[in-house]
Structures are given as C-alpha cells and as structure tokens.
Structure 1
Amino acid sequence: MEMKIFIVEDDLAIFNSLKETLTKWGMQVSGPLNFKDVLEHFKSDEPHLIIMDIQLPIYDGFHWCREIRLISKVPIIFLSSRDHPMDMVMAMHMGADDYIPKPFHSDVLLAKVQATLRRVYAYGEKSPDFIEWNGALIDLKRGIIRMDEIETELTKNEFFILIVLVKANNEIVSRDELIRSLWNDERFVNDNTLTVNITRLRHKLENLGLQEAILTKKGLGYVAVTL
C-alpha cells in the first residue's frame, strides 16, 4: 500500500526537500494549496501521516492539530525551529506523535516517519507481496523476480539494490546512496562490491528481457527506468 504523507510547511525549500526524500521511498506526498483551509485539504487528501510545521501563516500548527484531532487520529509529526521544552510538551499533549526540531537531517526524519507508519499501520494493514515493474513481478517475500513463466532468484544484495532503484520512481540513485542504504541495512559493501552486484543483477535481468531497464548515468549513479 502506498502511504500518503500530508506536509504542512510554508518554507517551499523544506517542503520540496521532504517531498523528494519521501517520494524516493515510494510515498505519495501532498500539501495544502493555501494555509487558510488546511483542514479541508486534509479531509480531501486522506493522508496516512501529517508532517506539520508549528509556525505557519494565518493559524499555527497547534491550531490545525486541534482541528484535526477532533475528527481523526492520523499520526502527526511536528517540525519546528522553536526548541523550548514547553512547545514539545504542548505538542505531545495535543496528540502529536513526535516532535523534530529544525534544522534536522532528512535521514532522521525519514526514519521517524517510517517508524511511525510501522507502529500505526503494522496491524490490520497487509503489506504488499509483489511490486509490478516493466511487466515483471518482484516477489518481496521470496526475493525473486518473475516474468511470465520465468523466475530469477536474486541474492540479498541484488534484491535490495533492485528494490531501492525501483522505488526511486525513475529517478537517479547515486552510488554513495546505494552504498549507504546497503550499509544501513547491515550489509557490508564497498564501491567495488556494488559494481559487481550491479553487473550480476543486470545479467539476471537480461534473462527476462530487462537488460535495458537499469541504466548507468555517468558521474551520477543508476536509474531503474520504465520501458
């Protein structure tokens, strides 16, 4: 299931940065068209999680948190440059699920978003077993990719790399980002190991007619394209 994230942030640079990070991980991102009707936009978008700045035009984030809590228990993560303990206490008393002070690191925010989504939606929401990609089915449970009657088994590293690239939605993923992702997932990998795994992955995809589906962007990284 694609998770929908509603970002209420008036700093366009921060909004776009968050959108880019979350979209790369397969999340759908939206935000209010104006800051007068945040509640109406929330109702229309029906998100799974809200990221809310406190200092906003017209009404602050506390106001919108109160309004949303009257009709929904959707998780809310506050962002704020205000680091006074009372702001944090007030946010949590009003029903916020987390509070992240600015400036923040995008990886930290992503981790908190993912942890909150797992906690709230782990029960009663069945995660998908497959991802469809270029006519093939990627089996998330078995670590294989299948096209028609042909099944190809992938190693853990090959499978992880493929999933990261596919979830990037036709956007380039740098070599450094792939290495960091593998390292963070407790898989030791260096630059040479990554090259070997990419080569092996491409060879296996060739058996499915998908040899052109992972492209090298010289000096930038790799991209899994839609053929």
Structure 2
Amino acid sequence: MLQRILIVDDDPHIRELLAFALAKAGYDCREAGDGEAALAAVAASAPDLVVLDINMPRLNGLDVCRRLRAQGELPVLFLSSRDDEVDRIVGIELGADDYVVKPFSPREVVARVGAILKRARPRAEDAPVPVQTGRLRLDREGWAALVDGRDAGLTATEFQLLAVLAAAPAKVFTRDEIIDRLHGPGFAVTDRTIDSHIRHIRRKCATLGLDDAIETRAGIGYRLGPCGAAR
C-alpha cells in the first residue's frame, strides 16, 4: 500500500504543488486547508506523515502539532516562513520531526518526507538487537526508548538521534556528525534544531526519572550519558 501524506496549508497553490511532487514520488496524498480540517482528516483516516504549515487560520500549525502529539507520535514536517524562526524552534520543541522554510523546492520536501518515513520504519530483515545502558533500553525493533521498562515516547527522529549516540557511547559527537548520521552529508539542518531535539529527549527521559541520558561537552557536542549507571 502507498504511504499516505496529509498536506495542510491554507494556500491551495502550495497544496497542489506538493501533492503533485509527492504523488509523482509514489505517495498517496490528502489535503486540508486549515488546522481544524487537518485534525478531522487525521481522525477520519490516519496518514503516515503530516506536512503542516505553521501560519494558518482556524487553528495554526503549532496548535495542530500540539494536539497530534497528545494523541501519539505521528510524524510531522513543518512548513514555515523565513521570518518564523521562533515558531520553527517551538515546533521542534513540540516534537515535529523536521521543517522546511518557504520558499522551498518540492524536491527538498519529497526528500525530507522520505527521510522521516525511513527513520520511522525499521527494516525487519535487520533484526536489531536492543541496546541497554544503565536504566535506558533502546528497543530498535520497536523503535522505543524505555526507562525502567517505561516508554519515553520519543519521536522517530529523537529515537534515531539517541540511537546514534548509543552506538558509540564513549564518543562525543559534534552536531555536524549527528546531522550526517541522521540525514546524510550535506543535509541542511541547523545546529539549533539538533539542540532542540536533544532538549526534547532529555525532558522526556527526565519525566521518567532519568536525568543523565545525554551529556554535553562544551564547545564540542554530545554523547550518551551514564543513564543511571556509574561510568
């Protein structure tokens, strides 16, 4: 079955442009012109990913993302204007997987949609072995980060970032190295986006009593923390 993408934007030209590009790439596309219509579309037939504009009438994209996150971990790709840096950061804090700045290339949107869905869909043939560090367990088949057996509720991007650090627990990763591992060399993601994902992972783990999931090395980057176990 084709993976279903819900395109949410109050500009019909942008919806048409993205629907054409995504359909050409092999996706089944649905459209919504505002936030309320988007929530109704998700409730009627859950998509595999939502492409979500931030500035919309009748419930903006941030509020839509907040409500979607309250229901589950549906992947979200934000569309934002160049002057909406604060909104983009807030969107990442809410759990969005990525964002694209307007004006954008439809090819870039298709590439980012594909990258998010790939991260969210583990390959069964890989039969990944769970990783255990202290109180943290990464179930790579189920794409779940478990603290004392309780799911931290990470998004696909957050889980993949944590898995990058866990794959080499003694290594301090620069932000550029993390971006390369997540998206591939040359992918346009800012350092601030990585920092936002890190904060989100820390907050979710901290709600389960794990305050040392990720360590910061000033001026360098991040590495996996002791996760409740002495180093």
TM, length-normalised to structure 1: 0.52
CA distance in 2, matches of 1:35, 1:64: 6
1:40-94 Cα shifts (integer Å, max 9, x gaps)? 2111121000000001111110000011111120110000114343222111100
Deviation of 1:37 (Å): 3.7
Deviation at 1:38, TM superposition (A): 2.4
2:21 and 2:97 mapped to 1: Cα distance? 20
Q: Which amino acid aligns with 1:86?
A: V
Measure, in 1, the Cα distance between the counterparts of 2:51 and 2:72.
15
Alignment CA distance shift 1:55-1:34 (3 Å): closer
Gaps of 5+ in 2: 127-231
CA distance in 1, matches of 2:124, 2:46: 18
Separation in structure 2 between the aligned mates of residue 23 and residue 60 of structure 1, nearest angstrom: 25
Provide the rounded CA distance (Å) in 1 between the counterparts of 2:58 and 2:77: 20
Cα distance in 1, alignment partners of residues 26 and 14 from structure 2? 19
Q: Which runs of 4+ in 1 moved over 6 A?
A: none
Q: Deviations over 1:147-194 (max 9, x none)?
A: xxxxxxxxxxxxxxxxxxxxxxxxxxxxxxxxxxxxxxxxxxxxxxxx
Which residue number in structure 1 is paired with residue 63 of structure 2?
63
Letter in 2 for 1:117: L
Residue 32 of structure 2 aligns to a residue whose secondary structure is coil
Q: Deviations over 1:90-132 (max 9, x none)?
A: 1110010001110001111111111111110134599xxxxxx
**In structure 2, C-alpha distance between the alignment counterparts of 1:5 and 1:15, rounded to whole Å:** 11
* Secondary structure in structure 2 of the residue aligned to 1:70: helix
**Cα distance in 2 for residues equivalent to 1:101 and 1:14:** 13
Tell me which residue corresponds to 1:21.
21
Q: Which residue of 2 aligns with 1:94?
A: 94
Find the counterpart in structure 2 of residue 42 from structure 1. 42
Which amino acid in 2 is paired with 1:109? Answer: V
Residue equivalent to 2:179:
none
Amino acid across the alignment from 2:96: A
With the length of structure 2 as denominator, give the TM-score of the two structures.
Answer: 0.51
Alignment map for 1:189-208 (pairs within 5 Å)? none
Larger radius of gyration between Structure 1 and Structure 2:
1
Could you tell me whether the CA contact under 8 Å between 1:49 and 1:75 is conserved in 2?
yes
CA distance in 2, matches of 1:82, 1:96: 17
CA distance in 1, matches of 2:50, 2:10: 14
Note the 1:118-197 alignment, pairs <5 A: 118-123=118-123
Go from structure 1 to structure 2 and tell me whether the alpha carbon gap of 1:125 and 1:17 turns closer, same or farther (over 3 Å shift).
farther
Relative distance call for 1:125 and 1:71 in structure 2 (3 A) is farther
1:51 matched to which residue of 2? 51
Contact 2:66–2:94 at 8 Å: present in 1 too? yes
Secondary structure in 1 matching 2:5: strand
Root-mean-square deviation (CA, aligned residues, Å) is 2.0
> Is there any run of 5+ residues in structure 1 with no aligned partner, and where?
127-227
Distance 1:108 1:34, change over 3 A: closer
What SS does the corresponding residue of 2:36 show, helix, strand or coil? coil
Find the aligned partners of 1:120 and 1:28 in 2 and give their Cα distance: 17
Q: Could you tell me whether the CA contact under 8 Å between 2:8 and 2:34 is conserved in 1? A: no
Aligned-pair CA distance for 1:36: 2.9
- For residue 13 of structure 2, give the secondary structure of its aligned residue in structure 1: helix
Is the contact made by 2:77 and 2:97 (CA closer than 8 Å) also made in structure 1? yes
- What does residue 162 of structure 1 align with? none
Which residue is 1:31 aligned to? 31
